[in-house]
């Protein structure tokens, strides 16, 4: 009980400190990074960034498999996509137990086995929470039982000895954070995973995980996987700022194109050859993004992109990469030409200077406001 009371008091302190630090951020333009220099380097046209304060180098652009592998694309296309990504310098491939009911991991595992790439040359993740095909009691969530068994099953599907990154895919209100932190620590101690993190957790939940891990000398979360794009900014640019500064959290952001809206393909019509048209399970995303105000913003963004002589899709991806707290941008692709084009985004980053970033902020009108104290 005392631990919970202390954690709650830290949450209140966190919120108070955030207000103070946010005001300082606004006044001094400080970048909220941890107390270290996050170095990056380039090789074969790909940039590699540290995953937060860890020593792991992750490609600035990575490849995800949600909605594609085992679902929207054939296995042969999935293999082509991984080939293109790997040959372009991508070293991180993102997956989860819940993607296509586990089929996504099976497809990726078969490809990795066939390619026989040097295991040190790539990073693979899985995420545990939603379960795979069956959803019986203890087959979802973040209990120690499901975390252990879900991780074991993910390794079997991926045909790997260990995961480089292992995420808690959502917070679990039915499982104490202490149980989850202990389980993740033990999975790392067993060599089943090298780093663990969270996905779509609140800042206070992540803070509690760090506090509990520090108190008991356990391995804390290294990274968070939040949604981040021009239309969805609150967590990355406001809520998580102290996490970056105080804990050195890395981020592997998903949906940089707002499910394709920021690619510009919805500007004139609702194409039938899109995820929104083909996959019923993401109707909630269609309702979120396909709003008249959002469509108008994308049309206006195209004006900026045209002036810079770049596609709006690259402007959108490049904008995400400009945030120094982004470790890697996860790309989703169902077509090889689409992936090849998006993987050249790093080439246009110099065009997106401070003046362009300010112009984009003014156009979007959604930059998170900082609280003066």
What gap in Å lies between CA 308 and CA 66, rounded to an integer? 31
> Would you state the structure tokens that stand for residue 237, as one six-digit string?
């640019």
CA nearest to 102, candidates 147, 156, 56: 156
Q: Which of 99, 122, 167, 211 is catalytic?
A: 99
> Would you state the structure tokens that stand for residue 111, as one six-digit string?
């490809």
8 A C-beta contact, residue 54 and residue 84: no
Residues 6+ apart with CB under 8 A from 329: 60, 61, 62, 253, 256, 317, 320, 321
Residue 59 CA to chain centroid, in angstroms? 13
Is-catalytic flag, 36?
Answer: no
8 A C-beta contact, residue 178 and residue 213: no
DSSP 124-151: EEEEESS-SS---TTSSSS-HHHHHHHH
What gap in Å lies between CA 86 and CA 118, rounded to an integer? 11
Write down the residue that tokens 């108190």 correspond to.
215
What gap in Å lies between CA 209 and CA 221, rounded to an integer? 7
Write down the residue that tokens 């899109």 correspond to.
274
- The dihedrals phi and psi of 13, each to the nearest 5 degrees, come to -65, -40
What gap in Å lies between CA 180 and CA 171, rounded to an integer? 10
What gap in Å lies between CA 83 and CA 70, rounded to an integer? 17
- Residue 32 three-state SS: coil
Q: Which residues are catalytic?
A: 99
């Amino acid at each position: 009980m005392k631990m919970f009371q202390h954690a709650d008091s830290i949450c209140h302190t966190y919120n108070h400190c955030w207000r103070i630090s946010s005001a300082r951020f606004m006044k001094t333009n400080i970048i909220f990074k941890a107390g270290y220099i996050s170095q990056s380097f380039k090789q074969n046209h790909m940039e590699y960034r540290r995953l937060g304060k860890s020593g792991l180098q992750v490609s600035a652009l990575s490849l995800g498999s949600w909605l594609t592998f085992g679902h929207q694309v054939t296995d042969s296309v999935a293999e082509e996509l991984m080939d293109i990504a790997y040959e372009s310098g991508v070293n991180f491939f993102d997956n989860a137990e819940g993607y296509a009911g586990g089929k996504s991991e099976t497809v990726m595992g078969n490809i990795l086995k066939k390619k026989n790439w040097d295991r040190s040359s790539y990073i693979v993740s899985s995420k545990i929470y939603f379960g795979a095909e069956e959803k019986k009691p203890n087959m979802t969530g973040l209990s120690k039982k499901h975390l252990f068994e879900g991780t074991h099953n993910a390794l079997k599907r991926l045909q790997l000895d260990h995961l480089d990154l292992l995420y808690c895919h959502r917070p679990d209100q039915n499982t104490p954070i202490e149980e989850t932190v202990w389980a993740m620590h033990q999975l790392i101690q067993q060599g089943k995973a090298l780093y663990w993190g969270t996905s779509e957790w609140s800042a206070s939940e992540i803070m509690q995980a760090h506090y509990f891990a520090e108190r008991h000398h356990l391995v804390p979360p290294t990274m968070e996987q939040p949604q981040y794009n021009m239309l969805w900014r609150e967590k990355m640019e406001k809520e998580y700022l102290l996490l970056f500064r105080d804990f050195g959290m890395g981020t592997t952001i998903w949906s940089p194109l707002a499910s394709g809206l920021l690619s510009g393909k919805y500007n004139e019509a609702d194409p039938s050859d899109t995820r929104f048209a083909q996959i019923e399970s993401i109707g909630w995303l269609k309702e979120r993004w396909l709003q008249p105000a959002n469509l108008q913003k994308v049309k206006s963004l195209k004006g900026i992109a045209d002036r810079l002589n770049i596609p709006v899709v690259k402007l959108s991806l490049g904008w995400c990469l400009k945030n120094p707290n982004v470790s890697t941008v996860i790309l989703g692709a169902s077509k090889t030409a689409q992936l090849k084009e998006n993987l050249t985004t790093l080439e246009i980053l110099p065009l997106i200077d401070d003046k362009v970033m300010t112009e984009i902020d003014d156009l979007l009108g959604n930059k998170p406001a900082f609280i003066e104290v």
